[in-house]
Chain A
Amino acid sequence: MKTALSVAALAVLTACGPLAAVLGPRGGAPQQVEVSLDALTAPTLQVTVPSLGQSGEMRLIGVNDDVQTWAVDDLVSLSLRQGVLVSTRGFGHDLMGADAQPTLDALQGFAPDVYRRKSRYLTGDNHSVWVTAGCSMADVGMVDGLRQFEETCEARNDRFTNQFGLDRSGRIARARQWVSPQLGYVETDLRTQ
Chain B
Amino acid sequence: MPKTAPMKRLVAPLCLVMASFATTLNAQDVGWSAGYNTFGVPGLIDMPGALGGADGELSYNISHFKNQTRNTLTFQFSDRISASFRYSALKDVRSRPDPESPVFSEIFDRSFSVHYRFLDEGRWRPAMAVGINDLVGTGIYGGEYVVASKTINPRLRATLGIGWGRLGSYGGFTNPLGVIDERFETRPDTYDSVGGQFQGDSWFRGDAAFFGGLEWQATDRLRLVAEYSSDDYAREDGAAFDYNSPLNFGLKYRYNDRTTLSANYLYGSEIGVHLSYTFNPQTPRHGSGLDSVPPPVVRRADLSEVAARGTGLEDRTRSALAAQGLTLEGLELAGSTLRIQIRNDRYPIASQAVGRAARVLTRTAPAQVETFAITLAAQGMPVTTVTVRRVDMEQLEFHAVAPDLSRAGTRIADATQSPPPLDGRWPFFDFGVDPYLSLSFFDPDAPLRADLGIALKASYEPLPGLVFSGRVDQRLIGNLDEGDRPSDSVLPHVRSDAYLYFKGGATTLPELTAAYYFRPGDDLFGRVTAGYLERMFAGVSGEILWKPQNSRLALGAELNYVAQRDFDDPFGLQDYSVATGHLSAYYEFPGGYYGQIDAGRYLAGDVGATVTLAREFDNGWRVGAFATVTDVSPEEFGEGSFDKGILLTIPLDWITGKPDRTRIDRVIRPVQRDGGARLSVPGRLYPLVREHQATDLDATWGRFWR
Contacts and interface: CB of A to CB of B under 8 A. Distances in A.
21 contacts: A2-B26, A9-B286, A51-B1, A64-B296, A71-B293, A75-B292, A79-B398, A86-B398, A92-B287, A92-B290, A94-B288, A120-B401, A122-B702, A124-B24, A124-B619, A126-B699, A127-B699, A134-B14, A134-B15, A148-B5, A150-B8
Nearest to B703: A126
B10 A152 contact: yes
Contacts of B12: 113-114, 136, 138, 152
Q: Which 8 A-B pairs have the closest CB atoms?
A: A62-B296, A156-B19, A128-B702, A93-B287, A122-B288, A126-B700, A136-B12, A92-B287
Contact of A113 (B4, B13, B220, B400): B13
B4 A130 contact: no
B463 interface: no
Interface in B641-684: 654, 657
Contacts, number: 225
B10 A150 contact: yes
B333 to A, nearest CB: 24
B687 interface: no
Contacts of B292: 74-75, 90
B287 A96 contact: no
Interface string B505-549: 000000000000000000000000000000000000000000000
A132 to B, nearest CB: 5
B394 A64 contact: yes
Given A122-B703, A124-B282, A150-B10, A99 B26 contact: no
A81 B399 CA distance: 11
Contacts of A120: 400-403, 702
Contacts of B398: 64, 67, 79, 81, 86-87, 97-98
Interface of A: 1-2, 5, 8-9, 12-13, 16, 18, 34-35, 48, 50-51, 61-65, 67, 69, 71, 73-77, 79, 81, 86-87, 89-94, 96-99, 113-114, 116, 118-136, 138, 140, 143, 148, 150, 152-158, 161, 163, 176, 180-182, 184-185, 187
Interface in B277-304: 281-299, 302, 304
B569 interface: no
A34 B298 CA distance: 11
B349 interface: yes
Among B288, B618, B706, which residue has the most Cβ atoms of chain A within 10 A?
B288
Contacts of A150: 7-8, 10
Interface in B454-509: none
A190 to B, nearest CB: 16
Contacts of B20: 129-132
Contacts of B408: none
Among A35, A113, A125, A182, which residue has the most Cβ atoms of chain B within 10 A?
A125
Contacts of B701: 128
Contacts of B700: 126-127
B22 interface: yes
B18 interface: yes
Nearest to A144: B5
Interface string B209-232: 000000000001000000000000
Given A67-B398, A161-B7, A125 B293 contact: no
A126 B7 contact: no
Nearest to B397: A64
Nearest to A13: B286
A100 to B, nearest CB: 8
B25 interface: yes
Contacts of A125: 24, 281-282, 617-619, 621
Contacts of A127: 618, 699-700, 702
A84 to B, nearest CB: 10
Given A124-B286, A153-B14, 14 more contacts: A5-B257, A51-B2, A74-B293, A75-B293, A89-B291, A89-B706, A94-B287, A124-B282, A124-B654, A133-B17, A134-B14, A161-B7, A176-B4, A181-B21
Given A5-B257, A81-B398, A156-B19, A96 B1 contact: no
A62 B22 CA distance: 30
A91 B287 CA distance: 9
Nearest to A89: B293
A69 B299 CA distance: 14
Contact of B16 (A62, A89, A154): A154
Among B220, B284, B351, which residue has the most Cβ atoms of chain A within 10 A?
B284
Given A121-B22, A161-B7, A2 B29 contact: yes
Interface string B8-50: 1010111111111110111001110000000000000000000
Contacts of A91: 287, 290
Given A51-B1, A64-B394, A123-B288, A90 B8 contact: no
B21 to A, nearest CB: 5
B29 A155 contact: no
A90 B702 contact: no
B141 interface: no
A181 B19 CA distance: 13
B567 interface: no
A132 B18 contact: yes
Among A18, A79, A132, A138, which residue has the most Cβ atoms of chain B within 10 A?
A132
Nearest to B254: A1
B256 interface: yes
Contacts of B402: 96-97, 120
Contacts of A122: 287-288, 702-703, 706
B534 to A, nearest CB: 32
A75 B292 CA distance: 5
Contacts of A176: 4-5
A48 B293 CA distance: 18
B705 interface: yes
Contacts of A50: 1-2, 4
B401 A126 contact: no
A57 B139 CA distance: 65
A118 B256 CA distance: 32
B288 A154 contact: no
A131 B25 CA distance: 14
B705 A35 contact: no
A151 to B, nearest CB: 9
A9 B21 contact: no
Given A67-B398, A93-B287, A123 B282 contact: yes
Given A97-B398, A130-B400, A121 B15 contact: no
Nearest to B701: A128
A130 B302 contact: no
Nearest to A80: B398
A62 B706 contact: no
Contacts of B401: 97, 118, 120, 130
B282 A63 contact: no
A65 B74 CA distance: 51
A120 B10 CA distance: 26
Nearest to B23: A129
Contact of B619 (A51, A126, A128): A126
Given A150-B7, A161-B7, A185-B1, A92 B18 contact: no
Nearest to A153: B14
Contacts of B282: 123-125
